[in-house]
Structure 1
Amino acid sequence: MWRRYLMWFAHEHVDFRHAEIQSIISLFNIPMKFIERPCVQKPYWIVDLPSEECVKKIASRSVLLKNCIELWSRAKTEAQLHSNLKNALQNKTGQWLEVNSDVENSTCPRELIEGCCPADKTFKVEVETFCKHFSMKEKVAKIESFSYLPLEGPVKLNNPDIKLCYLEFYGSDPNNVPEQPHDLFFGRLIADGQRDLIQAYSLKKRQFIGNTSMDAQLAIIMANQAKVRNGDIVLDPFVGSGSLLVAAAHFGGYVWGSDIDFMMLHGRTRPTRVGQKVRTNDESIRSNMRQYGTEHRYLDVAVSDFSLPMWRPDLTFDAIVTDPPYGVREPTEKIGIDRDNYTLSEAHLVNHIPSKVEYGIPEMYGDLLNFAAKHLRLGGRMVCWYPMVRDEYSESQLPRHPCLSLVANSEQVLSKLTSRRLLTYEKISDDVTSPGETHQGVNFREKYFAMGEQSRRERRERKAEELAANAPWRPQTRHLHVNKLD
């Protein structure tokens, strides 16, 4: 029998919430019904799911989900919430009942409450609020208001058998908090999300990082949207310091990587951490994998120019997760030379170090989509970041390929003027005769620095105007020049 659940999210990376959960339920083939349309201003969803096992599977992957509770009561006021719970104790139908045909005032089946009442089960009640703080005394008073529930077991604060949750939502504007909550919820905790992974994989604790190492939370979200599962072969063709490989390996993927930057892959670049003068000998992508106990899932990394693919034509990957350079903190380069008709003698070939030219963003993403269309298995996913100027954004500008379907598109705001979008493609066809398309005609790096210079100039002008407007009035003074007489 389907049950009703409250999915309570961390209120960050809100635009990624739907894409992550949809990827997870697609991965596990879990059907889910929305009781109301999700709203980005609210940190929760009300859904129906087939079983607790489905809830636990979702929670075992999601890093944006804080927890999920089996919903016993939802109301607009405390009095109505308690009334719903008391009505539930009289509900003998085994089904959800709606009070006055209102899903916000509904009564759960009595069996849900009675299952938590045996004397041999310990329990605790937790109070959580969103956008408002309560003292411990106030929280205890709210907990004691549920004393009518027939809970016969002893209270246990640490690791109880049953954890009951009372949640109050006061809106999402911390500068305009109402006296009374907008929504109240009560139910039994089923599972916690994977928020602990954010600290476990924090870059602050990681052995080897670079200037562009991906934040641990975003890396895990990318692995979820790529639907990485145990035994998958995963590639990052712009691997850098390997943060995305770490996240993919956590979910059981066997990871490959490549990059044109020889110094980065060999851990010889300038240290990133403040105060560190030189890199240690054990700084490498492999050492990161060893640090997290996933070295057995590390296949290798290779120095490679992505514009000149080195892979066998028949090689396929289950997923591609990558963050190509944008030309801001890392250069966009490929092997080449600007001179025409240039030749290299065999005598110089042995010690030759190839020169590099700019690898434009449209060309890079065109190559990336063509590569994915050719080397992804059917149904496999590619997840990548794409930089954008916010005022100029249009979905028609995003890279396209006839073999790839864009299934998710989420924005991370970088500044007032720029952002990057996390794009998730799924391979739907093996017909690779048509090339990919990109429409970003102007170099993003040029736009980025031009807008930065414009913003700095505007700030200087605005500051000068403010100083002039706030300067105290001073009368003009005349300087008298007196000739010194002998």
Structure 2
Amino acid sequence: MAPSSCDYIFVFAQAHDEFRVPELRSIAELHGFQVGFDRYTPEELVNAIKRPFMILRLEEKEHAKLLANRCILIRSIYEFYAQGSTYGELHEANKRVRSRWEQYIPNTSFKFTVIGYNHGLSQRRQRNVIESFSYMDFLGKIEMKDPQITLGVFEEYEDDRRPDGSRNADDEFKQAYFGRLVAEGTARSLIGMFDVKKRTYCGNTSMEAEMSLLMANQTQAAPGKLMYDPFIGTGSMAYTTAYFGAHVYGSDIDGRQMRGKAQTPGIIRAAAQYGVAQQIIDLCTFDVTRHPWRCGGLFDAIITDPPYGVRAGAKRLGRKKHRNDRPPPQVPRPDPDEPYIPPTKPYELSALVADLVLFARYQLKPRGLLVFFLPTVTETYEGVDVQAALCEGMELVANSVQEFGSWGRRLITIRKTTAESYPPPTFDSADINDAGTLRAPAHKDFREKYFQGFKKASEEL
């Protein structure tokens, strides 16, 4: 058995590397334990998350299983035995921890797997590597289908090709790792389950499955928790948070997105597809800036993807400004037999974000979480852009970016750190740059910048 508090090799999916650590910490916090990053300084961690393997410390083996069953970006977790830049180093290190694997020598069925990252390994190479561990003297049966233990060897190469274009040799790896399989990552199968292409109801702004699941994990969705999406649209985040046991309330200024055209609302139909329709408490049509909530502290988390204008712009109730020399249009008296559709005006993204943080402070329970995507212009983004949106009683927990070249979208997680009661926001956020002393954040006027191709100020002159 693995001793209490030991190191594990985390094998990650090769996607969204900046999201790995926030997801690990979020799920660990949900289950009441910590993940140890002792091997890495803050500077080393920046580079470590870009690599396929990390060695992290856990107090209990069961913690590894909890992470592997919930974290979307984990492929597998191995109890760490040894590593080295050569097999000589690795074998010497492995012999020093004989007490950790000698219990499997007498009568334990086993198998070896040898995997190369950034480099394909031939069958001969794999066989030679396995035979180099012959000193372990395992006496059990080799069982490829259902062994009692699986021993994994991982070779990490910088690239499969040298600068001159020739293929790397098999032994030119950067680092090799060795350990025993503790848990396979089962959560990644949910990506296929929630695939938008297979969904009964979706729209052109529906969030892709992997990101919806990552967002749900950032909220620490679990049974008994109450989530709210104020820009629910077609409900992508509702399904994943509900799947993890949370109850969900949703609203949107445009009820057509929630309803669809069938008699049963589209979100309810899709939720039924995933077996979570009973987790959707209600769906209501209203402008979040004119919300009906008459008390705060209702929700454990607010999860949303605010519309930022690439495919659909944010709106709020009200009329656009009219020229001073032109009288406002006359509004005819509404026909009582026709539904009244109130006028709307654009909701500028930086104002929306500032209002959203204040709204979350009002509506979240103490230690509740606000999780949302924020698009930013890559060239002008600075950390202060997000920090400036915070208010008293709210702290930044995580900020991970998904790059798209000239712009990226950041998954922001903010926690309510206070138990004090605050009044509801007025939703009259002034222009963030009106004072003239503060820089305009990289998400301000994002829609206009996007359609202008993110031109530099010098290019516009």
Q: TM-score when scaled to structure 2?
A: 0.84
Letter in 1 for 2:218: Q
Q: Equivalent residue for 1:262? A: 255
Q: Equivalent residue for 1:167? A: 154
Q: Equivalent residue for 1:409? A: 399
For structure 1, which segment, 282-291 or 424-433, has the greater mean C-alpha deviation from structure 2 after superposition? 282-291
Does 2:293 match 1:284?
A: no
Specify whether residues 70 and 204 from structure 1 end up closer, same or farther in structure 2 by C-alpha distance, changes over 3 A only.
Answer: same
Q: Equivalent residue for 2:240? A: 247
- Cα deviation, 1:22-80, whole Å, max 9, x if unaligned, reads 21222222233324213233222212221101111222221111111111111111122
Is the 8 Å Cα contact of residues 155 and 177 (structure 2) preserved in structure 1?
yes
Task: Work out the CA distance in 2 between the residues paired with 1:134 and 1:337.
Answer: 64
Q: Equivalent residue for 1:16? A: 19
CA positional deviation for 1:178: 4.7
Is the 8 Å Cα contact of residues 35 and 46 (structure 1) preserved in structure 2?
no
Q: Equivalent residue for 1:464? A: none
Query: 3-state DSSP class of the match of 1:385?
Result: strand
- Find the partner of 1:34 among 34, 37, 40: 37
- Find the partner of 2:182 among 183, 186, 190: 190
CA positional deviation for 1:314: 3.9
- Cα deviation, 1:96-117, whole Å, max 9, x if unaligned, reads xxxxxxxxxxx32x33212323
Q: Equivalent residue for 1:449? A: 451
Task: Work out the CA distance in 1 between the residues paired with 2:297 and 2:93.
Answer: 58
Letter in 1 for 2:246: G
Is the 8 Å Cα contact of residues 226 and 301 (structure 2) preserved in structure 1?
yes
- Cα deviation, 1:194-214, whole Å, max 9, x if unaligned, reads 222222222222221111111
Specify whether residues 79 and 47 from structure 1 end up closer, same or farther in structure 2 by C-alpha distance, changes over 3 A only.
Answer: same
Specify whether residues 427 and 442 from structure 1 end up closer, same or farther in structure 2 by C-alpha distance, changes over 3 A only.
Answer: closer
- Cα deviation, 1:138-187, whole Å, max 9, x if unaligned, reads 32332233233232222222232211111111126766575311111111
| Structure 1: tracts of 5 or more residues without a match | 88-106, 269-279, 458-486
Q: Equivalent residue for 1:469? A: none
Does 2:122 match 1:132?
A: no
Does 2:139 match 1:152?
A: yes
Task: Work out the CA distance in 1 between the residues paired with 2:361 and 2:162.
Answer: 48
Query: 3-state DSSP class of the match of 2:214?
Result: helix
Does 2:60 match 1:60?
A: no
Specify whether residues 298 and 175 from structure 1 end up closer, same or farther in structure 2 by C-alpha distance, changes over 3 A only.
Answer: farther
Letter in 2 for 1:230: P
Is the 8 Å Cα contact of residues 206 and 235 (structure 2) preserved in structure 1?
yes
Is the 8 Å Cα contact of residues 119 and 160 (structure 2) preserved in structure 1?
no
Is the 8 Å Cα contact of residues 377 and 406 (structure 2) preserved in structure 1?
yes
Q: TM-score when scaled to structure 1?
A: 0.80
- Find the partner of 1:420 among 409, 412, 431: 409
- Cα deviation, 1:349-395, whole Å, max 9, x if unaligned, reads 96322122111212222221121011100001010011111111122
CA positional deviation for 1:343: 7.2
Is the 8 Å Cα contact of residues 227 and 248 (structure 2) preserved in structure 1?
yes
Is the 8 Å Cα contact of residues 403 and 431 (structure 1) preserved in structure 2?
no
Does 2:207 match 1:207?
A: no
- Please, what is the CA RMSD of the aligned residues? 2.7
Q: Equivalent residue for 2:309? A: 327
CA positional deviation for 1:289: 1.6
CA positional deviation for 1:329: 0.2
For structure 1, which segment, 61-70 or 145-154, has the greater mean C-alpha deviation from structure 2 after superposition? 145-154
Letter in 1 for 2:16: H
* Fraction of identical pairs, as percent: 32
Is the 8 Å Cα contact of residues 162 and 168 (structure 2) preserved in structure 1?
no
Query: 3-state DSSP class of the match of 1:114?
Result: helix
Letter in 1 for 2:293: W
Query: 3-state DSSP class of the match of 1:425?
Result: strand
| Structure 2: tracts of 5 or more residues without a match | 323-327, 433-439
Alignment of 1:258-407 (within 5 A): 258-268=251-261, 284-314=266-296, 316-338=298-320, 345=333, 348=336, 351-398=339-386, 399-407=389-397
Does 2:103 match 1:115?
A: yes
Task: Work out the CA distance in 2 between the residues paired with 1:450 and 1:76.
Answer: 49
Letter in 1 for 2:401: E
Specify whether residues 442 and 114 from structure 1 end up closer, same or farther in structure 2 by C-alpha distance, changes over 3 A only.
Answer: closer
Specify whether residues 347 and 206 from structure 1 end up closer, same or farther in structure 2 by C-alpha distance, changes over 3 A only.
Answer: closer
Is the 8 Å Cα contact of residues 403 and 432 (structure 1) preserved in structure 2?
no
Is the 8 Å Cα contact of residues 321 and 383 (structure 1) preserved in structure 2?
yes
Letter in 2 for 1:11: Q
Is the 8 Å Cα contact of residues 41 and 172 (structure 1) preserved in structure 2?
no
- Find the partner of 1:73 among 59, 82, 95: 82
Letter in 2 for 1:264: Q
Is the 8 Å Cα contact of residues 376 and 427 (structure 1) preserved in structure 2?
yes
Q: Equivalent residue for 1:103? A: none
Query: 3-state DSSP class of the match of 1:220?
Result: helix
Task: Work out the CA distance in 1 between the residues paired with 2:109 and 2:369.
Answer: 44
Task: Work out the CA distance in 1 between the residues paired with 2:332 and 2:367.
Answer: 44
Specify whether residues 378 and 186 from structure 1 end up closer, same or farther in structure 2 by C-alpha distance, changes over 3 A only.
Answer: same
Query: 3-state DSSP class of the match of 2:316?
Result: strand
Task: Work out the CA distance in 2 between the residues paired with 1:331 and 1:144.
Answer: 61
Specify whether residues 347 and 329 from structure 1 end up closer, same or farther in structure 2 by C-alpha distance, changes over 3 A only.
Answer: closer
- Cα deviation, 1:259-312, whole Å, max 9, x if unaligned, reads 1222211113xxxxxxxxxxx777711122211222221212111211111223
Is the 8 Å Cα contact of residues 166 and 185 (structure 1) preserved in structure 2?
yes
Whose radius of gyration is greater, 1 or 2? 1
Aligned residues: 422
